[in-house]
């Protein structure tokens, strides 16, 4: 299989036109049936969100690219055993989460102190946890930067599952059901997990609110 990150954009156009009426799960079933262009479509659709997700876990651009590539390789290798019993994104992010957690554990001693950045613009939306006003003064910009650094360090200090849940909820725009499926928790447990995470951040960042 050719590199999943280096396919020419033109090669993806036929499947985009053909996949408009399909759900992601149905497109993945086409991959299972041997449709390579369907796989290309999924790579094009989810590459940027996955790189963004991995970057916020690994805090390293090269590692994020490599991890996203590995997710797609695992998706491709698992194509014959894929069953559309769950939402495709749930299956995809479960693979991504397992890889991200393993990478974080394996490289914990190698990483800089701050490894998760929730203040960086989202690759898809361009928004951040702290949305800046384009007319802010130098003093206001300094305060905003201090707040960003504080958010960074406090999110990194969250327990692993809380950190994952916040990233999926805030930046991947995943709902409670999707997050609960990825983390293999009930929806009520997921809501509780996120509530505790946001309460912790609110309390620790109250001087910036």
The total number of structural domains in the chain stands at: 2
pTM given for the model: 0.70
Do 88 and 121 share a domain, yes or no? Answer: no
**Does 34 lie in the same domain as 102?**
yes
With a CB cutoff of 8 Å and minimum separation 6, the contacts of 57 are 64, 67, 100, 101, 103, 104, 115, 116, 164, 167
Q: pLDDT by residue (tens digit) across 150-203?
A: 777 787 788 889 999 998 998 788 999 999 999 999 999 999 999 999 999 888
Q: Do both 167 and 98 map to the same domain?
A: no
What range does the domain containing 131 cover? 114-209
Burial class (CB in 10 A: 0-12, 13-18, 19+), 68: buried
Q: In the chain, what's the furthest Cα-to-Cα distance? A: 58
Tell me: do 131 and 197 sit in the same domain.
Answer: yes
Q: How far apart are CA 179 and CA 84, in angstroms?
A: 18
How confident is the model over 64-76, as pLDDT tens digits?
999 999 999 999 9
Phi-psi label, residue 34: left if phi above 0, alpha if psi -120 to 50, beta otherwise: left
* 206, 122: one domain: yes
Q: Are residues 106 and 118 in the same domain?
A: no
**Both 129 and 98 in a single domain?**
no
* CATH number of the CATH domain containing 189: 1.10.10.10
Among residues 111, 137, 169, the one where a domain terminates is: 111
The pLDDT assigned to 1 comes to 55
- Based on the domain organization, do 158 and 209 belong to the same domain? yes
Tens of pLDDT, residues 2-44: 444 444 433 444 444 455 678 999 999 999 999 999 999 999 9
- Please identify, among 63, 78, 111, the residue that sits at the C-terminal boundary of a domain: 111
């Amino acid at each position: 299989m050719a590199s999943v990150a280096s396919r020419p954009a033109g090669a993806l156009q036929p499947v985009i036109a053909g996949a408009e009426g399909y759900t992601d799960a149905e497109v993945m079933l086409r991959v299972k049936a041997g449709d390579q262009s369907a796989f290309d479509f999924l790579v094009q659709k989810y590459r940027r969100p996955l790189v963004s997700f991995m970057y916020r876990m690994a805090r390293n651009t090269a590692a994020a690219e490599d991890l996203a590539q590995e997710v797609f390789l695992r998706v491709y290798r698992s194509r014959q055993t894929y069953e559309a019993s769950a939402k495709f994104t749930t299956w995809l992010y479960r693979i991504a989460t397992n890889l991200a957690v393993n990478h974080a554990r394996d490289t914990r001693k190698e990483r800089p102190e701050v490894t998760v950045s929730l203040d960086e613009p989202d690759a898809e939306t361009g928004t951040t946890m702290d949305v800046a006003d384009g007319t802010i003064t130098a003093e206001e910009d300094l305060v905003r930067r201090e707040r960003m650094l504080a958010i960074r360090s406090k999110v990194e200090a969250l327990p692993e599952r809380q950190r994952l849940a916040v990233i999926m909820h805030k930046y991947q725009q995943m709902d409670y059901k999707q997050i609960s499926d990825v983390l293999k928790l009930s929806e009520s447990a997921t809501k509780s997990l996120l509530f505790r995470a946001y309460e912790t951040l609110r309390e620790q960042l109250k001087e910036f609110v």
